Amino acid sequence: MAGIWIVAETREQAFELLGAGCTLAPGMEAALTAVVPKGSAPPGEYIARGADEVLLLAALAPGEPFGAHLPVIEQEAGAGSPDLILFAATARGKESAARLAARLGCGLCSGCTALAFDREARSLRMERLAYGGAAIQKLDALSKPVIVTVPPRSFEAAAAAEGRQGRVRELPAPPPSPVKIVERKPKEKAATDIAEARVIVCAGRGFDRQEDLALARELADALGGELGATRPVTEELHWLPEDLCIGLSGVQVKPELYVGLGVSGQVQHMTGVRGAKVVCAVNRDENAPIFALADFGIVGDLYEVVPKIIEALKT
């Protein structure tokens, strides 16, 4: 029987990856195996959500990184011989997936945006974005297994069903990793998660000074939305925290309304806005690419135009 494995760092990730696995398992006639940290949730929760087998990763010593599990996962995957291994496309997931792919000598589809099984051809169809989002790359596996990383929130979490049966097995502790974590600095929980925002006002390089972002925030407040930013604003200027960075290498957003202020419309950024229902823009450069990628755009100086929009919204 064919096999689909999911490898997750957390319970939430595992549920989403099981959701992905459950959509593929019937077509592939595959059994579903969840490889999850011991203690992340009672194994029964994974079985209820579609896992036929749960492999529990041993608890790690405090300084050991998630990647320490790789030798054990490699050995198990070698013995279990799955057809497909799914990871979440998070920092740890992406690194682990690539390292496991190298160890198993197999292919890896990174940041997969579409994943389906072609029953006739008996093969997986994978898609991802390339060239900063300007292109869609379709991939076919030439190796078994094939590993796929799936961006968070791409799939619905698997629903729990009653009465499912599955096996549970504890994996041996891995050898110590050469990489040691000496300190963890947890992120202060952002007040809002722009990935879930319904309205986003995005500040781009068109703002002259950091304090001027107040204008973007004012418009966001008037629209009942959240503030986001382009990469130069977060990573070059450090005017806003990086969790507000929208784009291929940042957060992918799907609001009802996106308003870009002083955003030129680079493809890497606009790819992150692909899921927006309505895209509006204000930019003084009439040749800015964003005008072709927006539904509505005002050609004008945002410092003059935005106060007028805010004023008009009040009436």
Partner 1 sequence: MPTLIACFKWVVDEAYIRRGAGGTLDFSSVDYKIGEYDRNAIEEAVRLRDAGGGGSVIGLTVGPPESAKGVKDGLSRGMDQAIFVSDASFRDLEPSQTAAILAEVIRTRIPQYDLITCGEGSSDLYAQQVGPRLAERLGIPCVCFVQKLALEVGRLRAERRVEDGVEVVEAPLPALVTVLPDINTPRIPGVKDTLMAGKKPVTTVKKEDLAGGFEAALKTGAMTAASLERAGEKLAADAAGIARFVDALRKSGLIR
Q: For residues 130-169, which are near partner 1 according to CB under 8 A? A: 130-143, 146
Given 61, 159, 179, 190, the residue binding partner 1 (CB under 8 A): 179
Looking at residues 114 to 133 of the shown chain, list those that interact with partner 1 (rule: CB under 8 A). Answer: 128-133
Pairwise CA distance, residues 111 & 13, whole Å: 15
Please tell me the distance from the alpha carbon of residue 263 to that of residue 207, in angstroms, as a whole number: 9
How many angstroms separate the Cα of 289 from the Cα of each of 69, 136, 153, 176, 286? 45, 19, 28, 50, 9
Determine if 312 is a binding residue for partner 1 (CB under 8 A): yes
**From the CB of 111, what's the least distance to partner 1, in Å?**
7
Residue 305 touches partner 1, criterion: CB under 8 A? yes
In degrees and rounded to multiples of 5, residue 213 shows phi and psi of -60, -15
Counting contacts by CB under 8 A, is residue 246 touching partner 1?
A: no
Closer of 213 and 257 to partner 1 (Cβ): 257
Instruction: Report, in Å, the least distance between residue 36 CB and partner 1.
Output: 17
Least distance CB 166 / partner 1 (angstroms) = 28
Taking the complex as a whole, the smallest distance from the CB of residue 202 to partner 1 amounts, in Å, to 14
Instruction: Give the shortest CB-213-to-partner 1 separation in angstroms.
Output: 18
- Measure the CA–CA gap between 91 and 13, rounded to whole angstroms: 13
20, burial (CB in 10 Å: exposed 0-12, middle 13-18, buried 19+): buried
Residue 280 pairs in a beta bridge with: 259, 296
Choose between 106 and 168: whose C-beta lies nearer to partner 1. 106
Q: Does 37 bind partner 1 (CB under 8 A)?
A: no
Q: Interaction with partner 1 in 72-91: which residues (CB under 8 A)?
A: 90-91
Phi-psi region of 66 (alpha: psi -120 to 50; beta: other; left: phi over 0): alpha
Footprint (CB under 8 A) of partner 1, residues 44-73: 65, 67
